[in-house]
Amino acid sequence: MALNKRPFFQPAASNQPAGPPGGHIWFTEYHSPASGITVRAEKTLFTGKSAFQEIVLLETEDYGRMLVLDGAIQTTERDEFVYHEMIVHVPLCAHPRPRRVLIVGGGDGGCVREALRHPEVERVTLVEIDGMVVELCRKFLPKIAGSLGDPRVELCIEDGVRFVKNHTRAFDVIIVDSTDPVNMASPLTRAPFFRAAKEALAPGGVYACQSQGPVFEARGMRRIARTIRKVFPDAAHYLASVPTYPGGMWSFALASKGGKRPAAASFAPSRPLPRGVKTRYYTPEIHRAAFALPRFVQEIIR
Q: Which residues bind ligand SAM (CB under 6 A)?
A: 1, 52, 69, 74-75, 83, 104-108, 127-130, 133, 159-161, 177-179, 184-185, 188, 210
84 vs 257, which CB is nearer to ligand SAM?
Answer: 84
Least gap, CB of 245 to ligand SAM (angstroms)? 7
Of the residues 172, 177, 180, 234, only one is catalytic, namely 177
Helix H, strand E, coil C: the string for the chain is CCCCCCCCEEECCCCCCCCCCCCCEEEEEEEECCEEEEEEEEEEEEEEECCCCEEEEEEECCCEEEEEECCEEEEECCCHHHHHHHHHHHHHHHCCCCCEEEEEECCCCHHHHHHCCCCCCCEEEEEECCHHHHHHHHHHCHHHHCCCCCCCEEEEECCHHHHHHCCCCCEEEEEEECCCCCHHHHHHHCHHHHHHHHHHEEEEEEEEEECCCCCCCHHHHHHHHHHHHHHCCCCEEEEEECCCCHHHEEEEEEEECCCCCCHHHHCCCCCCCCCCCCCCCCCHHHHHHCCCCCHHHHHHHC
129 vs 263, which CB is nearer to ligand SAM?
Answer: 129
Looking at this protein, which amino acid is placed at residue 174? Answer: I
Least gap, CB of 235 to ligand SAM (angstroms)? 18
Bridge partners for 10 per DSSP: 26
106 vs 269, which CB is nearer to ligand SAM?
Answer: 106
177 included as an active-site residue: yes
Residue 278: burial class (beta carbons within 10 Å; 0-12, 13-18, 19+): exposed
181 vs 263, which CB is nearer to ligand SAM?
Answer: 181
24 vs 113, which CB is nearer to ligand SAM?
Answer: 113
Least gap, CB of 149 to ligand SAM (angstroms)? 18
Residue 253 contacts residue 188 (beta carbons within 8 Å): no
Residue 128 contacts residue 162 (beta carbons within 8 Å): no
Least gap, CB of 300 to ligand SAM (angstroms)? 18
Least gap, CB of 127 to ligand SAM (angstroms)? 5
239 vs 263, which CB is nearer to ligand SAM?
Answer: 239
Least gap, CB of 23 to ligand SAM (angstroms)? 28
User: Which positions are annotated as active-site residues?
Assistant: 177
